[in-house]
Amino acid sequence: MSDVPQAGDRQDRLIQEREHDPYQDGKKLKSPTACPVCNALYLRGRWTWADVPEGAASHVCPACQRIEDRVPAAFLTVRGDFFQNRKDEIINLIHNYAERERTEHPLKRIMSSEVRQNTLSLTLTDAHLARGIGVALHRAYQGDLDYQYTKEDIMLRVSWERS
């Protein structure tokens, strides 16, 4: 078998992670463990929203730790005249998408948002959330969507623009 890439091989999608995300625990926590900040519950290997049982251990979840440290996993920038003309509609789409994701995945949250002239800048606790919002914007309004990963592939910058 040849080591030469063949047509259809998706080697451009293969990400060799050089450095692990320091906000993702390398070890499993005791189950159940509750976040004292947001009350998310670590249960059977994942963070979820559920009632915190008596006797649960306490540990700050990765999303709350990122928010406290002000270290986002992703940045999302929305810009252009189209955004300026439909600002409320686009912001609603973004917040509705983020809220749906947060209800299923407690670690997917918007950390901050800022609107200046015809640009919206968001910081997020999860790269998949940024990418999902970018895809949702592109599906709804077309425009130009771009992704930029850091060299270590632990942070994502998503940019969506439409004139």
Q: Which residues, 6+ apart, have CB-to-CB distance to 129 below 8 Å?
A: 74, 98, 101, 108, 109, 110
* Measured distance CA(102)–CA(48) in Å, rounded: 10
Residue 37 lies in a domain: yes
What pTM, to 2 d.p., does this model score?
A: 0.83
| Confidence (pLDDT) at 3 | 47
Q: Which tokens sit at 116? A: 């200046």
136 forms bridges with which residues in the sheet? none
Residue ranges in the chain whose pLDDT is less than 70: 1-21, 25-26, 151-153
Q: Which tokens sit at 142? A: 């077309």
Q: 42 and 77: one domain?
A: no
| Confidence (pLDDT) at 99 | 98
* Measured distance CA(88)–CA(60) in Å, rounded: 33
Last residue of one domain, picked from the residues 33, 61, 89: 61
Residue 3 lies in a domain: no
CATH number at residue 84: 3.30.70
Q: Which domain holds residue 155?
A: 72-161
Q: 147 and 110: one domain?
A: yes
* Measured distance CA(40)–CA(5) in Å, rounded: 44
| Confidence (pLDDT) at 154 | 76
Last residue of one domain, picked from the residues 30, 61, 92: 61
Instruction: Decide if 27 contacts 35 (C-beta within 8 A).
Output: no
156 forms bridges with which residues in the sheet? 74, 149
Task: Report the number of distinct structural domains present in the chain.
Answer: 2
| Confidence (pLDDT) at 27 | 74
